[in-house]
Structures are given as C-alpha cells and as structure tokens.
Structure 1
Amino acid sequence: MDRGSRFFYALEKMRGAKKHVTCLLAEDGTPLTDPEEMCGRARDFYTSLFSPDPTDPGTCGVLWKELPTVGVGDRDRLELPLTLAEFSEALRRMPTNKSPGMDGLTGEFYRAFWDILGPDLVTVWAESLQSGVLLLSCRRAVLALLPKKGDLRDL
C-alpha cells in the first residue's frame, strides 16, 4: 500500500510549490526570508500554540469522575474485528468530490473500485489496528496555512 506514495508525495510537492511562503514575521515583527529561519519561527510558534497548559490534578480528578463510561455491551461491540460491510457503509456516506487523503483519490474512485480494493484495504487497516502501528503513508500529513485577514506574514 505504501509503494505508490512516492508519486503522490511528489504530486503534492509540485502543488505546494505554487503556494510557497516567502516571508514570515519574527516574534518582534522583523521579516524573515531565510527558509531555515522561517521554519524555526513556525516550529516555535506551533510548539507554543499546541503545548499543554499547566493543569491542577485535583481539578482533573473532578472532571474525570463526571465523564461517562462505555458500557460492557457497547465496549464488546466496539472491539469486534473490522468488517468490509462497515467500511462499505462509511464509503457510501463519504461526500462526493472530496479527497480524504494526500493521494488525491476521491470517494468516487474508491466506490468505483471498491470490489477490488475493499477486501485488501480492510485487511491492511485491521492489521494496523491489531499491531498498533499505522503505515508510514497514514502517519504523514501535509499542512497548509490558510490565509486570514490581516498581514499574511504574521503567524
């Protein structure tokens, strides 16, 4: 399943080159144009943004006591092996003209070839679930910064 990934990553790289960021503002407002400096600025910004805030263990305990739990019957049903029927239903519910992954393949593609692809994909996903390890291609992502109002150089 990972073999074709090189092609799709190259395709995404070509698409991304058209949307290349050429300047970011440093924390003090200084423009950064060096790619390494821009990477460092983005890494620092998002590391700070997604770092957990300090928490009070006592407060967490109160919160956790109030959380609902999954009943034994539901848990047993949720832990059943994956089935082709479940994936077929999920595929049927996918919106049209949307690509769920980096490969650019739409739900329509999977629907058209589901009889061929479905059983193998279910096997791959079931093995990943059993082993607790996703394929490398399933662990990769392409992030795109979406422009908002204001200075687009300011993260």
Structure 2
Amino acid sequence: MDHGSRFFYALEKTRGAKKHVTCLLAEDGTPLTEPVEMCRRARAFYASLFSPDPTDPGTCRVLWEELPAVSASDRDRLELPLTLAEFSEALRRMPTNKSPGMDMLTVEFYCVFWEVLGPDLVTVWAESRRVLPLSCR
C-alpha cells in the first residue's frame, strides 16, 4: 500500500513543478526569473491590459447617432416584468436534449415539472433582477 502512495505523491510533485511560472519576458524581451521582477511585470501587464482605452467623443457621437432608438411605448412595454406565460413560451421553443443552464437539467426536465417549478422560477427571476449585477442577469 505504501508503495502506491509514494508513486502517486512523486507523480503529483512532478506535475506540480510544471505548473509554476519560472520565467516571464520583460517588455523589451529579456527574460525575468526573479520572483519579485516577475510579479512586478505581471502586475504591470494586467494593469495595462484591463485599463480603459481613451475614446474619442466625436467618434462615439457618430456611432450613437446611427443606432436605432427604442420608442417610449416600446421601452415601457419591454420593462414590464416577465410573466409565467412568456417563460412557458420560451421553454416550449427551446431545443430538446439541451441543458439551458449551469444546473445541467435538461429542457425535458423543466417541461415535465414546469407546473411545479414555473411559478417559483418566475418569482426567483423577478427578485434576482433587483439584486444581481448586470453581468449575471
């Protein structure tokens, strides 16, 4: 028994060593191997990568002028809460043998249990609209 454990421990140790970053390239292409230098370079790289790019207001104005506008009546209608009927229609139109969400439950599952789950799911969705960040909606 101990032999197998030693074997797998050594295997994991080898794999773990391959996961460590041992070198990064500086902006001029020279290799950085010191952990402090690598950390500084990684910070600078990601700070630059995720910083906002400057935008030209004139270009933005041209882009926005060409976008179609939603009428006030359509906007009001679109902002109404979704109904159970709309959810039911969306479920009916979904392709079968698919899992529409991260729960990995298939469309067929929701169809079979819709009368039980539907009203609660509509309530959960309506409540979550107010508390979830835009990226999760």
TM-score range, shorter chain: 0.5 to 0.7
Equivalent residue, structure 1, for 2:131: 133
Aligned counterparts of 1:105 and 1:58: Cα–Cα separation in 2: 48
Q: Which amino acid counterpart does residue 71 of structure 1 have in structure 2?
A: S
Map 1:1-150; keep pairs closer than 5 Å. Answer: 28=25, 48=49, 52-129=52-129, 132-134=130-132, 139=136
**CA 27–52 in structure 1, closer or farther in 2 if over 3 Å, else same:** farther
**Deviation string, structure 1 residues 17-70 (Cα, Å, up to 9, x no partner):** xxxxx7598764x9xxxxxx9xxx7xx67x83x765432111101211221111
Aligned counterparts of 2:52 and 2:24: Cα–Cα separation in 1: 20
Structure 1 segments unaligned to the other structure (5+ residues):
1-21, 31-36, 140-155
**CA 116–57 in structure 1, closer or farther in 2 if over 3 Å, else same:** same
Aligned counterparts of 1:104 and 1:27: Cα–Cα separation in 2: 39
Structure 2 segments unaligned to the other structure (5+ residues):
1-17, 26-30, 32-37
Instruction: Please give the TM-score of this superposition, normalised by the length of structure 2.
Output: 0.59
Instruction: Please give the TM-score of this superposition, normalised by the length of structure 1.
Output: 0.53
Aligned counterparts of 2:103 and 2:62: Cα–Cα separation in 1: 44
Task: Name the structure with the higher helix share.
Answer: 2
**Deviation string, structure 1 residues 73-115 (Cα, Å, up to 9, x no partner):** 2112112221000000111111212112221111111111000
Computed over aligned residues only, the root mean square deviation of the Cα atoms, in angstroms, reads: 3.4
User: What is the aligned length?
Assistant: 103
Which is greater in Rg?
2
Taking only the aligned residue pairs, the percentage that are identical comes to 69
Alpha-carbon shift at residue 120 of structure 1 (Å): 0.5
Q: Which amino acid counterpart does residue 102 of structure 1 have in structure 2?
A: M
